[in-house]
Structures are given as structure tokens and as C-alpha cells.
Chain A
Amino acid sequence: MRLPSFLIVAVLVLSVPGSAFQKLPSTPHSLDYKETVLPNGLRVITHEDHSTPVIDFQIWYHVGSKDEKAGRTGFAHLFEHLMFQGSAHVKPDEHDKIITSAGGTSNAYTNDDVTVYYQTFPANYLEKVIWLEADRMASLNVSEEIFKREREVVKEERLTRVENPPYGDLVEQLYAAAFEEHPYRHTTIGSMADLNAATIQDVRDFFKTYYVPDNATIVISGDFAPETALDMVKNHFGGIPKSQQAISRNNVQEPRQQKEKRNSRSKPVPLPAYVAGYHIPQDGHPDAYPLTIASMILSQGHSSRIYRSIVYDKQLAVEAQASANFTEDPNLFFSVLIMNRGASIEEGEKAINEELMKLTTEPVTDKELEKAKNSIRSDYTFGRQSVHQKGQALGHGATIHNSVASANREYDLFMKVTKEDIMRVAKAYFRPENRTVVIVNPPRRGN
């Protein structure tokens, strides 16, 4: 279906005088990799790419904010900060210093499901990086003083990201309202009260429970010989023992939402804002692929439905988006609006809901479906150019889908999505009773 009309475009272009060559539609290269599991359970994935003498090394720990215990929201992320604060043979902050002085970058992120440490560096530093990462997996070493100071840094991070920007807490409000039971009801940054309540004993317990080789995946991408890299990993990580107890997981099921929830408040924001979340299944669920295509048809690019209708034609909003947040457990499909000056939330909500509902009653056009698939094709190419991007794709497949192969296989699942699939998932999830709405309005002026 997609090919013919695509070729028409190509043919038209080729008919312009002077054009001398013809190319077939480019398809994304699939990522080649090798996967090995060491006796202690550590999974190692290598991907060779010799185009630049650079290597990206990532270590994915399968622990995120959804694994935090009650009263300790924000802890997984606070812990991530502490991983930079020293181990048996590495002084506080020395890990970062070594990478930085080589011209590399080193950082980490925590989300609901995973904590990922990564560094991109000149290729000759590979063994040094492996040694550094092994040392902190084997022997985190953080003092009470450093723990307290780093907690202040994380509290500043919360102020910077959530409390000071005008719309910083909108997402936090939405999740708190949309989820009743599942730990996704709190965001990764956590609350000030819980951050204050955390202790060094928590640090110790968390490390012992989750920072074990059988809960980790290493992804090395770039300019190296895979056998040599694997030997280095075995040499430095091989002696770290696997966990002695089962890794505890929060297996909470979110009860099915029965009716629409609405939460409206007044806050000194510059323009009114609206965010709605619809419960959707987890990453890798068969419905995830048509939902992704639906979100692209709705709001990717200036020719998308929501941009065209709400931003361009009706000029109701300065920002209008619909997108899915796919995670290990079921999450939300968002629709978001920041209104134009003078436009009301009511008009905006009506317009964006119309766009979502239209997907439940009318099939998308062939052209729209083809456009979305071309965009996926393009994302798989442009989004997998650097060694870091490649490592992200492989690590995500391994950790979230428990299948490295999914990093390549999902492409075909996107390509197989039909118009009927899109209508089916729209009907299944874009229902008012499945929706949570959070609205902020600036206070009325003049008093």
C-alpha cells in the first residue's frame, strides 16, 4: 500500500530536468549485536561500529522509581546520584573526573523502570571505564556526610525541574490523580518529605537488593573488538556475586478506572493548561504499535491533525500534543494543551477530544498511515546514528522487553499496523471513563 504512492513522489521529483540518479526507498539498517550472559547473571551486549574512534558504554540496572518502598519516593533517583560518590577504589566524583578529563561524557538517568549509567568516550578508555563501572557495582562506598549533601542537590533538582517552572508540576498532578494503586502514581523525582526521610541504611539495602549483576545489562557500542571487550568485562565483573535473595518487585495491578476523574485548580501560570491521561497497556503490548501510529497521525509534524486543527486553523493553543508514554507496566496516553492568549480551556478540550474521538469513528486515510510509517522509518534511521543512540535501543530491548532482538523486530510490527488496528485501539482506550483530566487556570485578574 505504501510503496506505490511513495514512488509517485519519487518519480515526480525525478522528472525534474538534470536529475541523474535513481534510488530505491531507504530502509533502516538493523543493529547487529552479540549477546552473552556471564555465570553471575550479568548480560553483556556488544555492537561494533568503527566509523568514529568512540565507544559508548551503558549499564542498565533493572530498578526504577516503581520499585521504591512506601514513604521513600524519589529514592531510586537519589541513589543514582550516590553511585558517582565513590566506591572501594574510586574517590567521590573521581569516576566523572576520569571520563571528563579524557574528553568523554558520563551521566545517568532514572525513570519509573530503570536506572541507566552511561559514558561516551575515546575508544582507548574502554578498559578503564569497565573497571570503574565494576568497582561501583562491587563496592559502593558513601559516607553519611556525602549522602546528606547529595540529598540537598537532589532537592535543588526538584526545585529546578518541578517547583520553579510555571508548568513544572502538571505531570506530577496528573499521575497522582490517574493512578490509585500502582507506584506510577508518584513521579521519579519524589516528594521533599520522602527525600528528607531517606537514610543511609536505605542506601545500603537498596544497593544490596538491586545493584547486583543478575539485575543488570551492559551495552557496549562503538569502535572495539567484541572478544577483547567481553574478556575485559569478564575480568572485571566476573567475580561479583549474583544476588543472594530474590529481587523484590512491586507487582501492583492498577484497578480498572470506572469513571472520568477531573481536577481543576487555580495557579499563577501565564496561560491556561490542560492535560488528560488515558490508561493504556505496557510497552511491547500489541496495541502499543497502533497507539504509537495514532499519536503520530494526531500530532507529529505541522501536517498532523492536532497541529493543523488546533494550532493552525483554530489557533486555540500555543502547544498541543498527543503522545503515549510506554513503560514496563501500563501507563498513560496524554493529550496536552497550553492555550493561546484569550482562548479558553473549554474550547481547547472540546477540540482535542474531537480529534481523539474521530479516530474511533472514521478510519485514518491511506496517506496518513503511509506518512506515519515513513516517519517511523526515518526515526529508525535518524534516531540510531550515534553509538549512544544505538546503545539505548539495544539496552531498552534487553531490559524492558527482555529481548534484545526486539530492538530490530519492532520495526516490522510498526510496518504491519493497519487502519483497522488504529480504530480498534482508539475505541478501546480513548473513552471518557478511562480519562483523568488536570486543568490549571491563572487566577482571575483585577483583584
Chain B
Amino acid sequence: MRVHKFILASILLFIVSTASAQRPAPPEPQPLAKVSFPAYQTRKLPNGLTVYALEHHEQPTVALRLLITAGAVNDPNELPGVASMTADLLTEGTKTRKATEIAETIDQVGASLSAAADMESTIVNASALTDSVDLAFELMTDVVMNPTFEEEELARLKEQALSGLTAAMEDPDFIADAVFDRVVYGSHSYGHMADGTLESIPKVKRADIVKFHETFYAPNISALAIVGDLKPEEAFKMAERWFGNWKQRTVPRIDVAAAKSAGRRIVVIDKPDAVQTEIRVGQTTVARKDPDYFSVLVSSYILGGSSQGRLNQVLRQERGLTYGAYASIKPRKGPGVFYSVTDTRTDKTGEALQLVIDEIQKLRSQTVPEPEARDAKNFIIGSFPLSIELPGDLATRLTTIFLYELGDTYLETFRDRIAAVSTADIRRVSNDKLTAAGATIVLVGNASGFKSSLEKLGKVEVVSIQDLDLNTPALKR
């Protein structure tokens, strides 16, 4: 009844306003001109450094992004965190500048400089207004080539890292992601904690950091993207001037192809004070460079790449079980991960998990309807112009091509390759690469509130949050 009156009221309201006018019909969009990725130039310096230059005049700024193809995957076994700590310490002192001087110099001109390592790369970012671009180059090269890794700075960093991690280890969202990676990759280093663990961080010595830097920081496995208000010729000249004397060296390669799914496990991390359960379901998938990546990407969008994905529609829009449910791919040079993420109140855990599993299964057993596949592809293709708006976005796109060796035509052909994915391709990759039955399931929450609802899924491992050990795929000592 109420609803009826409400509709009536709004119609009346409308009629009052536009006595004779009909509401204008919904307009159809005009065709869109094809958007090209802005032209860029590439050069290789004599020391092997790949340099991308892209001129962008929107604002008087320049973004520099240096990517070194070494990250947590190159950490010594048993010592996760070395790559990350090496990157963190770059800005904490060089042969000619103390940590405080670096911060002071960069802050003084309103520029930024930061370094961080993730699983397969180390990234050093700098951005500056064009009047300070020389300074940005100077500081970036100084921290990359001449860091001193002083003991005092290492000690300080360790303390910070341990406090930060202590806090994170009480955050269900963080724990779920960390446990999921650990379990899905088993003992492969893709599964270890990129930022280190409470046990590994104290063991890292200055010598480990120095060795990592000496071994992996090399121009011949690195790329520099220069995007902004700078002519390409100027950009290359500056790259040559500042990075030209960075010495190349032979860098050991590791075999990432060995990473594969460690097999199905259902793990519950019991946190009795949690009011919600964090849910992760997924498995390993194709490498970033694999031609099937595009089909897997489209299938991940259909499952949960946006608010319109199946997971969010079923769990949020139809049932109000969660604030959000999504699926995505974590890309890797070796096998990546295809996984689903959601959270729900404790008593709905079993129901929400079953719905996620059912949706994955449906992607395997039923061909995706053509309009749904088209919408997903249009989303990926249509969002391309939005994703290249800022200099930093453009720089990221360029260094990503380098990291995964995607080739010079990648950006031009990306949208055509997405458009070419058929519903048969989606069905095929879903069958080959996704198995609801083989998926790893990680739940972080108050186990007593939902454990009985999991029994039908098979063997469930329950680990108390106090006993959780992220150093080993066993999760317990």
C-alpha cells in the first residue's frame, strides 16, 4: 500500500511541474571516437635500462616511475621481507645524504619520492612540478644507486615494521589475504609474506639487504617511465645523464613457472571477537603473459569485476548479505591467482560461502549469455580511457608492459583482444582454469558461529588466531 502511494506521490509531483510536457525519452549514446593510448617513445640506454617517454601537458608536472624486476619472490628462503625492507631503506640515507636530508629536500619543493617492493618488482616513484624535475631525477638516482643501509635505520625500520604487522595481524581483512596467498601457493615463494613476518623481520641483517641490492638492482632488468610536461628528447637526455652510469650486471633468474595450486584446503582462522567473517575463495590461474589471460580476465569480470558482477548481484543486490562481493585476478609472471572476496555477518557465513561456490560452478557448467559477456567486455574496453587520465596512470601502464613482457603493440591491441573473447572462450577457460571443487577457501571470523555450516564441504582446518604462523603453509608450528 505504502509503496503504491509513494509512486503516486512522485507522479503527481511530476505532473504539477510539467503540465503538458512528456518526460523526454531516454537518449541513446552517440558513437564514440576511438581513443588511442597517447604516443610514446622507447629507448634502451647502453647499460640496458629501458626508457619510456610520454609527453603530457595537462599540468606542469612530471611523473617518474622506475621498475626493477625483482621483488619479494627473490627473497632468500626463510627470510621473507628482505626485498621490501631493501626498498623501504632506499630513501633512508645515501653516501651523500642522510635520511632527514632526503625527506627535507623532497618535501621542500612539494615533490614526492617513494620506494616499495611487491611480489615481483620494486618500484621507485617520484613526481614533481616541472620546475623541480632535475631534483627529482637527482634524488631518485641517488637513492637507487648509492643507498647506505645504515644499521641504525635498519633497526628503526624493523621496529616500525613489527609494530605495523602486530596491528595488521588483528585485522581480519589483512589476515584473510595473507592466509589465502600462503595456502593457495603452498611452499612456493609467491605464497610468502612480501612484507615479512613477525619471525622473519628480526632475523634480517644489514648484509642481507646489501646483498639483495647488489644482486638485483640493475639497469638491465629495469625500466623507467617519464610522463609529463617534458619533450621526449629532453626526457631521454635526462635519463641518460642521471641513469647513464648505473652499472649493468648479470642477475640470477628464478623459475616462477613452478608455482601451482597447492590443492584444495578449507581453512578457518578463528577470531572469536569478530562480528563478520572475511571470505576468500580461489585458485591459481594463467600467467599474465598467457594468451588466455584475456578470456580469464573477462570471466573474472563476469563473476565479480564490478558492482554489476554476478557475486555482487547475488550477495548484495538480491540478498543484502554483504557490503560488497567481488572477483579479481592477481597477475603474476608465473601462474596468477583468480579469487573471490566478500565479507558477511557471522551467522550468514555458510550461506554467503555457498553462494560464492555456486556462482563459480555456474561459470563452468553454463555458457554465459551473450549480452552479459558483451556488457563485461564493454566495461573493460570502455574503462580504458578512464584508466589513462593521469601521468602516474600512464607511467604504470608502460612499466607494466615491461614487467610482464607484453610487447610494444600491447596497448594498441588490448581492446581488440578483449573484444575477440567469445562466450565459448569464457566457458573453456572457466572449465580448464577454475574448479569450484578444487578451490582454496579461507575464512577469518568467529568459528563457533558458522563452523557447523561448513561440514558438507569437506575437511575443515581450524586455526586459532593466536596459533597462526604465516611462515609455513601448515599455518601452525
Q: Are A54 and B167 in contact (CB under 8 A)?
A: no
Closest Cβ–Cβ distance, residue A217 to chain B (whole Å): 19
Are A271 and B163 touching (Cβ within 8 A)? yes
Q: In the bound complex, how far is the Cα of B394 from the Cα of A137, in angstroms?
A: 37
Write out the residue numbers on chain A whose beta carbons fall within 8 Å of the beta carbon of B59: 28-29, 381-382, 384-385
* Shortest Cβ distance from residue B132 to the other chain A in the assembled complex, whole angstroms: 8
In the assembled complex, the CB of A125 is this many whole angstroms from the nearest CB of chain B, namely 5
Chain A interface: which of B68-76, B177-185, B269-277, B291-299?
B269-277
Interface string of A315-328 (1 = CB under 8 A from B): 10010000000000
Q: Which of A162-170, A284-292, A420-428 lies at the interface? A: A162-170
Please pick, from B33, B386, B390, the residue contacting A385 in the complex, using a CB distance under 8 A: B390
Q: CB < 8 Å: which of A16, A28, A105 contacts B134? A: A16
Contact B129–A377 (Cβ < 8 Å): yes
Binding stretch for chain B, among A57-65, A109-117, A139-147, A401-409: A139-147
Given A153-B322, A241-B13, A370-B108, A101-B378 contact (CB < 8 Å): yes
Cα A424 to Cα B436 in complex, Å, equals: 64
Interface hits, B275-328 → A, CB 8 Å:
275-276, 306-308, 313, 316-323
* Complex contact A139–B2 (CB within 8 A): no
Distance, CA A206 to CA B391, complexed state (A)? 42
B60 at interface by CB-CB < 8 Å: yes
Within 8 A of A (CB), among B1-38: 2-3, 6-7, 9-11, 13-14, 16-18, 21, 23-24, 26-33, 35
Which residues of chain A from 1 to 45 have any CB-CB distance to chain B below 8 Å in the complex?
A: 6, 9-10, 13-14, 16, 18-21, 23-26, 28-29
- Given B163, B172, B273, which contacts A340 in the complex, CB threshold below 8 Å? B163
Query: Which B residue sits closest to A12, measured CB to CB?
Result: B135
Determine if A235 is an interface residue (Cβ-Cβ < 8 Å): yes
B250 touches A (CB below 8 Å): no
Minimum C-beta distance from B373 to chain A (A): 11
A141 touches B10 (CB 8 A): yes
Within the complex, the shortest CB–CB distance from A393 to chain B, in Å, comes to: 13
**B2 and A88 within 8 A (CB):** no
Partner of B323, one of A127, A138, A156: A156
The answer to whether A371 and B107 touch (CB under 8 A), given A93-B317, A141-B7, A270-B166, is yes
The minimal Cβ–Cβ distance linking B176 to chain A, given in whole angstroms, is: 11
Q: Does A209 contact B (CB under 8 A)?
A: no
Please determine whether B386 and A269 come into contact, CB atoms closer than 8 angstroms. no
B389 at the interface (CB under 8 A from A): yes
Segment of B154-162, B252-260, B423-431, B456-464 in the binding face: B154-162
Q: B357 interface residue, CB < 8 Å from A?
A: no
A69 within 8 A of B: no
Give, as a whole number of angstroms, the nearest-CB distance from A11 to chain B. 11
Q: Is the CB of A270 within 8 A of B110?
A: no
A100, B108: Cβ atoms closer than 8 Å: no
On whether the beta carbons of B100 and A308 are closer than 8 Å, the reply is: yes
Residues of A within 8 A of B9 (CB): 204, 208
Contact yes or no, A52 B388, CB < 8 A: yes
A262 in the interface (beta carbon within 8 A): no
Q: Is the CB of A103 within 8 A of B383?
A: yes
Write the B369-382 contact mask toward A (1 if CB under 8 angstroms, else 0). Answer: 00000110011111
Size range of the chain B interface in the assembly? 35 or more
Q: Is the CB of B130 within 8 A of A23?
A: yes
Contact of A341 among B106, B162, B320 (CB under 8 A): B162
Residues of A within 8 A of B321 (CB): 152, 156
Give the distance in Å from the alpha carbon of A51 to the alpha carbon of B389 in the complex: 8
Chain A residue at minimum C-beta to C-beta distance from B322: A156
Chain A residues closer than 8 Å to B10, beta-carbon distance: 88, 138-141
Mask, B332-348, CB within 8 Å of A = 1, is 00000000000111000
- Chain A 163-191, CB-CB to B under 8 Å as 1, else 0, gives 11110000000000000000000000000
Please, which residue of chain B has its CB at the minimum distance from the CB of A106? B307
Interface: A229 (CB within 8 A): no
Q: Is B109 in contact with A16, judged by CB distance below 8 angstroms?
A: no
Pick the contact of B389 from A16, A25, A52, A165 — CB < 8 Å? Answer: A52
- Shortest beta-carbon distance, A400 to chain B, in Å? 24
In the complex, whether B407 has a CB less than 8 A from a CB of chain A is no
Instruction: Report which of B17, B109, B320, B384 forms a contact with A239, defined as CB distance below 8 A.
Output: B17
B127 at the A interface (CB under 8 A) = yes
**Which stretch, A70-78, A297-305, A430-438, touches the partner chain B?**
A297-305
Beyond the given A29-B60, A149-B318, could you list 16 further A-B residue pairs with CB under 8 A, ordered by the A residue number? Answer: A10-B132, A21-B234, A101-B379, A103-B382, A127-B29, A153-B323, A163-B275, A164-B276, A166-B171, A201-B2, A239-B18, A268-B170, A300-B107, A311-B160, A341-B166, A382-B127
Closest 5 CB pairs of A and B: A103-B382, A378-B110, A152-B320, A302-B103, A239-B18
List, sorted by A's number, 17 A–B pairs whose CB atoms are closer than 8 Å: A9-B108, A21-B234, A54-B389, A101-B378, A103-B382, A121-B382, A131-B27, A138-B13, A139-B14, A140-B10, A163-B276, A204-B9, A239-B21, A270-B166, A301-B107, A375-B110, A382-B59
